[in-house]
Amino acid sequence: MYDVVNNYFEVDNKEHVKLNANENPYKIYELTKSLEDYELNRYPDNDALLLRETYGKCIGIKKENILAGNGSDEMINLIISSYISKGDTVITLEPDFSMYDFYTRRQGGNITKYKFFSGGNKFNIDEFISFAKSNNPRLIIFSNPNNPTGNVIDEVDIFKMLIEFEDIKVVIDEAYVEFYGKSMVSNIEKYPNLIIIRTLSKAWSMAALRVGFLIANNATIEEIKGNKVPYNINSISQSLATELLKYEETFKKNLDLIFRERKKVYKELVLLQEKYKIFKVYPSKANFIYGQFNGKYILNFLKELEFNNIKIRSFKDNYFRITIGSFNENKILIEVIKNFLGNIVKKKIVGEY
């Protein structure tokens, strides 16, 4: 179980091109507040009222339908600990965010995974429903867009899922939804079993503040909030996040930069894929690109990136995930990959993927 956490908390403080944690390389604005502006001798607002109200205005949801927490991780833990007991089954996707596994197992539950990604094939909702029903789940949870593939499940399929599993909670982790543009958040009243998770760590460029949200109808909020620990978001994170959420124009401009860079990086990688035929990359609706290398070259590829101080994430079966960085970071990345592939050609060891 703790291997999951060790991988998730991987830290490297050396200077490098950091494309492994799906962070936004662009800041919202330069902060000017000093620590003297905060009452550090006082506990923070237990209900994070101003933060919830400000975020609610951003997404068109009342603050009463929002819980705020110490990153979306706390919200995931809060949901799973509220509904899962020893022996209960949680259905998720394969692959998906590793912390679903961690929190489920900590509760004594069983995590069962539906294979979501198969060479970029479309999600089969009927097959998923059949699979899930055969496992009698207490909870369904998945990220949309999916982490790490960048694939998405269409709204029509999610609606069908919510109807078929109306007696259990269906949790959609929308950590990357701003890069996709299609949220289910407006459906929380229509579907009482729907719970949405959001974060400010990705598109909103606030990873260091650790602020996440749980969004659901009033009854679900009342069910869950009694399990929330008190004072779970410190005063500094609440204050800075509330202030930064007011910079929507900058936020939108930064998103446009990510979209532009995502399109460019994907196009460059596809050209290299077609030329060398030893790796594949897949279209993404998130701020990263997922791919798979020929097993013959994956270790050398990762070593080459590490030698050039470039950090990406690698997964089993030779898959990898590259976060979309800044213009300069992406330029360095593509140049290093081109040089690596060119050296393979010189050594005459290229083979079909």
| In the block, residue with structure tokens 């503040």 | 209
Question: CA quadruple 89, 94, 98, 99: dihedral positive or negative?
Answer: negative
pLDDT at 10: 46
Q: Which amino acid appears at position 16 of this protein? A: H
**The predicted structure's pLDDT at residue 36:** 67
Dihedral of CA 9/318/200/34: which sign? positive
Instruction: For residue 208, give both structure tokens.
Output: 């260091």
C-alpha 210/C-alpha 267 separation (Å) is 33
- Beta strand 89-94 pairing with 110-115: parallel
**CA R_g for the chain:** 21
> Where do the structural domains in the chain lie, given as residue ranges?
17-23+249-340, 43-246
CA-closest candidate to residue 151, choices 194, 186, 119: 119
Q: Which CATH fold topology does 17-23+249-340 show?
A: Aspartate Aminotransferase, domain 1 (3.90.1150)
Transcribe 235-248 into DSSP letters: HHHHHHHHHHTT-H
pLDDT at 15: 59
Phi, psi for 332 (deg, rounded to 5): -60, -45
Assess contact for 24 and 204: CB atoms under 8 A: yes
Residue 250 host element (H or E): helix 248-276
Structure confidence by residue, pLDDT tens digits, 288-320 = 999 999 888 999 999 999 999 999 999 999 999
Residues 281, 283, 285, 288: what is their CA dihedral angle, to the nearest 10 degrees?
Answer: 20
d(CA 185, CA 196): 6
Instruction: With a cut of 50, list the residues of the chain below it in pLDDT.
Output: 1-14, 350-353
> What pTM, to 2 d.p., does this model score?
0.91
SS3 322: strand
What is the Cβ-side half-sphere exposure of residue 281, based on CA atoms within 13 angstroms? 22
pLDDT for residue 9: 41
What angle, 0 to 180 degrees and rounded to 10, lies between the N-to-C axes of helices 155-164 and 125-134? Answer: 30
Nearest Cα to 54, choosing from 230, 213, 266, 201?
A: 213
Q: What is the pLDDT of residues 214-243, one digit of tens each?
A: 999 999 999 999 999 999 999 999 999 999
Q: Is 43-246 the same fold as 17-23+249-340?
A: no
- φ, ψ of residue 38 to 5 degrees: the values are -110, 145
Q: How many residues comprise the chain?
A: 353
Fold of 43-246: Aspartate Aminotransferase; domain 2 (3.40.640)
pLDDT at 352: 43
